Amino acid sequence: MSSEIIDRIQKACDSLRAAQLLLGEGLPDFAMSRAYYTMFYVAEAFLISRDFRFSSHSATISAFGREFIKPKELPVEFHQFLLQAFQSRAIGDYGACGSIEIEEAQIHIERAQKFIDLANNYFQVEPDPDK
């Protein structure tokens, strides 16, 4: 497995940790953004494993669905989670302060953890939680 894949998975783990910390500090808009990026980095890791790299989020999300969900290699819920997080992240990043409720951010953080678990199982890696 390439170091680039391991790097993306590690970055996803770091992003999830940041999301949890931000939510704990009562910052759900920012926690939402980090939860989305957790999922996004995992999607990138999957695509890199097939030698795909994209310059836009939309292209990455679309390719993740096309390459891994459509052929039923991964459960469809992961593409749905990524799409929903992408939309919520935009609201959190560009909407008024407090646009994302704590409960919504928590749901996305739980889904982001599922992405990490999926990557760890698929790639048989355990990123360093202290990195």
Q: What are 21-72's pLDDT values in tens digits?
A: 999 999 999 999 999 999 999 999 999 999 999 999 999 999 999 999 999 9
Q: What is the pLDDT of residue 44?
A: 98
| Number of structural domains found in the chain | 1
> Which CATH number characterizes residue 56's domain?
1.20.120.330
Query: Would residue 96 count as lying in a domain?
Result: yes
Query: Would residue 128 count as lying in a domain?
Result: no
Confidence grade of residue 127 (pLDDT, cut at 50, 70, 90): low
Q: Please compute the mean of the pLDDT values over residues 1-8 and round it to a whole number.
A: 92
- Which of 107-117 are b and which e, b meaning 16 or more Cβ less than 10 Å from the residue's Cβ? bbbebbbbbbe
Query: Would residue 129 count as lying in a domain?
Result: no
Residue 73, judged by CB atoms within 10 A of its CB (0-12, 13-18, 19+), counts as: exposed
Domain that holds residue 58: 3-123
Percent of the chain predicted with pLDDT > 70: 95
What span, in angstroms and rounded, lies between the C-alpha atoms of 112 and 107? 9
Query: Would residue 130 count as lying in a domain?
Result: no
Query: Would residue 131 count as lying in a domain?
Result: no
Higher-scoring residue by pLDDT: 125, 23: 23
